[in-house]
Amino acid sequence: MSLATAPFAERGEVLIEAHGLTKRYGGHSVLDRVDLTLTRGALTTVIGPNGAGKTTLIRLLLGLEKPNAGTMVKPDGLRTGYVPQRLHVDESLPITVRRFLALGGARPAAIAEALRDVGAARVIDSPLQSISGGEVRRVLLARALCHDPDLLVLDEPTAGVDLQGQADLYELIDTVRRKKNCGVLLVSHDLHVVMAGTDQVICLNNHVCCSGAPDAVSEHPEYLALFGPRAARTHAVYTHDHDHTHDASGVVVPLEEGER
């Protein structure tokens, strides 16, 4: 059976299978024979220091750049939602959050629903430049969700957000993944907070140093060599145990039953 005709349904369905991805810039290998498998319902976290090729990997997976070598298999019609690291819109451009989401081609009902899903319904008519850093992340996530993606790709989703905000965002990503049953690829240079729900951690430093379940990776010798002995002490698999959560404006809202 070809991948093209496979129904996008059950958890575990392969969304992207990459083998030997290699990207060179001027003779220097930024990515060297990287293997990667992303599946529906699974959360994969790529960690690595600056310059490890994390952004290049994302660009290859999104089709923004072509690899020098390697293969990448995706089912036909795979819908990928991309949450970029930064959003800079010039002050001179009058644009609301609603219009920003509509630019992606979403219908009005889908826009309102996506904003509710990420807890940012409040800012729907705010100018895009007036919302906070945490709200920007939620709005970018909403834009990706408008397309009902099979795979969500997030580049440093918590950069520039305070610690509580980071925890809230990781929880939100986890909630979205469960609700939409999509695959998630999350890229981070943040060693201290790796979300509890991560199924697979890939430690990248131009090549794949090690990969596997979070606990296994954090004890791997190559991981320790790359991030130093301090990482072994300070790194902790992030576990979250709250009896409440926060919406985009920071207001405390109680968790629903079963969400804890």
Partner 1 sequence: MLDDFVTRALIAGLGVALVAGPLGCFIVWRRMAFFGATMSHAALLGVSLAFLLNINVTLGIAVACLVTAGVLLSLTRLKVVPADTLLGLLAHAALALGLVAISFQETLRIDLLSLLFGDILSVSRGDLGWILGGGVVSLGLLAVIWRPLLSATVHEELALVEGVRVRLVQAVFVLVMAIVVAIAMKIVGLLLIISMLLIPPAVARRFASTPEIMAGLAALVGVVSVIGGIEASLAWDTPAGPSIVTVATILFVVSLPLSSAVLRALFKNPEKAHHHHDH
Residues that bind partner 1 (CB under 8 A): 62-64, 80, 82, 84, 87, 89-90, 92-96, 99-100, 103-105, 125, 127-128, 143, 147
Shortest Cβ 233–partner 1 spacing (Å): 37
Shortest Cβ 6–partner 1 spacing (Å): 22
Shortest Cβ 258–partner 1 spacing (Å): 34
Nearer to partner 1, 88 or 233 (CB): 88
Which phi and psi angles does 102 have, rounded to 5°? -70, -30
Nearer to partner 1, 100 or 227 (CB): 100
Nearer to partner 1, 126 or 207 (CB): 126
Structure-block tokens of residue 186 = 């999350």
Shortest Cβ 142–partner 1 spacing (Å): 12
Give CA–CA dist 74/71, Å, rounded.
10
Give CA–CA dist 143/82, Å, rounded.
8
Nearer to partner 1, 149 or 197 (CB): 149
Structure-block tokens of residue 17 = 């299978």
Shortest Cβ 84–partner 1 spacing (Å): 6
Structure-block tokens of residue 119 = 């807890």
Supply angle C-alpha 158, 36, 46, rounded to 5.
Answer: 20
* DSSP letter for each residue of 81-107: EEE-S-----TTS--BHHHHHHHTT--
Nearer to partner 1, 59 or 220 (CB): 59
